[in-house]
Amino acid sequence: MSVVNNSRISDIELAPQGHLAIEWARRHSPLVDGFLRERLNDGALAGRRVAVVVHLEAKTAFLATVLADAGAEVVVAGSNPHSTRDEIAAALVDRGIEVHSTRGSGYPAWEKDLLAIADTGPEFIIDDGAELTIRMANHRPDLFAELQGVTEQTTTGVSRLVELANRGRLPCPALAANDAACKHLFDNKYGTGQSTIQAVLNLTNMLMAGKDVGILGYGWVGRGIAAHVRALGGTAWVVEVDPVKGLEAFMDGHRVGDLDTVLPVADFVITATGGRRALSRPDFAKMKGGVILANAGHHDLEIDVEALADEAVDFRVVREGIDEYLLGGDRSVLVLANGALVNIAGGLGHPIEIMDLSFAVQGVGCHELARGAVAEGVQVIDGSIDAEIARAKLAFHSISLEDRHAHQEDTIDDLLGPEG
């Protein structure tokens, strides 16, 4: 059967539009297009089956084409049913890469797509949220045993892989790509920070200056969101459960409080905890009328939209990507992008330059796994690879660094004197 027949996409006729977007991503991805390509030249991935299950948009598609150019047999699905771009899926199929994904497919069809990817028997998975790995463990144990490595994109996915390993159910080495400095320092903070605020403002066509913004979670993502709120003249109100992170937010100059303090004043509330139901049934009554909720965490369930719908007396779509839940009287709560990751499902995703870094980490991670260079269990990528990637990015910007000098060394010899 041809790749077109094997694939499940919306419409192959959309391919030309997708090719343009992928080419635009390539132009701003010097690491994936240069550094990673060079590394894959050794043939380690030639003929190897690689599944890419990441939000299916142009940057992901470009990574998939680079892996395919290196000789890998690549199959692709989206890591969330709301985030797939149909034109990108079409362009990949047009290039001969098998894809199982359509935008807004709903969860049952999306899971079926993931199992179709599992049935191709991947040797390596480039995963996001461990969405494919977990499903293979659960539904395809025979094929799962064949797996030789996983490299994982997100904070939530790494926690899931660690749990899987602790239960003795991870049969192969896994790389926590998220934990590489070149990933979370830039992707989670600058990439998610900028793209989340961009998506919120684009979807609503509203102004940030003068707004009060509740931010749940002050991890890498929350820090980035708060910084971008402030940069645009808004006030970030951070809600944390970790006292050290709460103190850090306070020292960074943000307002900090619990939900009872923050929800009544917030114009926007953005979740970034990585857990389920950070905003749950009792919280909706505490919110200011007309508040706008958005989620930046991996779970679509971080805002309990089902409970909100249950509490509501009426519902309407007020604008594309904005649902309004009427709670009685004149109070209502609005939700962006169905509570899915707002920057990806309701926006263009991370800036290309950020995904260039993240995918350099993921691509090199996959190469390391194929070389058999990763020990069993969930591992962090070697620090020397982080340094190489950062150096390559700096070199692209024509920035060179100083060398450490021998005369800098500070030893206790000087203090101890000749007796030592």
Ligand X SMILES: NC(=O)c1ccc[n+]([C@@H]2O[C@H](COP(=O)([O-])OP(=O)(O)OC[C@H]3O[C@@H](n4cnc5c(N)ncnc54)[C@H](O)[C@@H]3O)[C@@H](O)[C@H]2O)c1
Q: List contacts with ligand X (CB under 6 A).
A: 154-156, 184, 187-188, 192, 216-222, 239-242, 245, 272-275, 278, 296-298, 341, 343-344
Which is closer to ligand X, CB of 90 or CB of 296?
Answer: 296
289 and 331 in contact (C-beta within 8 Å)? yes
To which H or E segment does residue 347 belong? none
Question: What is the nearest approach in angstroms of ligand X to the Cβ of residue 154?
Answer: 3
Which is closer to ligand X, CB of 3 or CB of 162?
Answer: 162
Question: What is the nearest approach in angstroms of ligand X to the Cβ of residue 247?
Answer: 12
Question: Which residue number has the CB closest to ligand X?
Answer: 219
Question: What is the nearest approach in angstroms of ligand X to the Cβ of residue 195?
Answer: 7
Quote the DSSP letter at residue 217.
-
The closest of 307, 249, 238 to 273, measured between CA atoms, is: 238
Give the contacts of 40 (CB within 8 A, at least 6 positions apart): 66, 67, 69, 70, 363, 367
Angle at 303 between CA 256 and CA 251, to 5 degrees: 15
Residue 158 structure tokens? 């790494």
Question: What is the nearest approach in angstroms of ligand X to the Cβ of residue 56?
Answer: 14
Give the contacts of 265 (CB within 8 A, at least 6 positions apart): 212, 214, 237, 288
Question: What is the nearest approach in angstroms of ligand X to the Cβ of residue 184?
Answer: 6
- Number of helices (H), then strands (E), in the chain: 20, 15
**What are the Cα distances from residue 144, in Å, to 123, 150, 379?**
9, 11, 19
Which is closer to ligand X, CB of 242 or CB of 413?
Answer: 242
Which is closer to ligand X, CB of 278 or CB of 392?
Answer: 278
The closest of 254, 256, 356, 271 to 305, measured between CA atoms, is: 271
Which is closer to ligand X, CB of 51 or CB of 259?
Answer: 259
Which is closer to ligand X, CB of 14 or CB of 354?
Answer: 354
Question: What is the nearest approach in angstroms of ligand X to the Cβ of residue 311?
Answer: 19
Which is closer to ligand X, CB of 218 or CB of 268?
Answer: 218
Quote the DSSP letter at residue 2.
-
Question: What is the nearest approach in angstroms of ligand X to the Cβ of residue 329?
Answer: 28
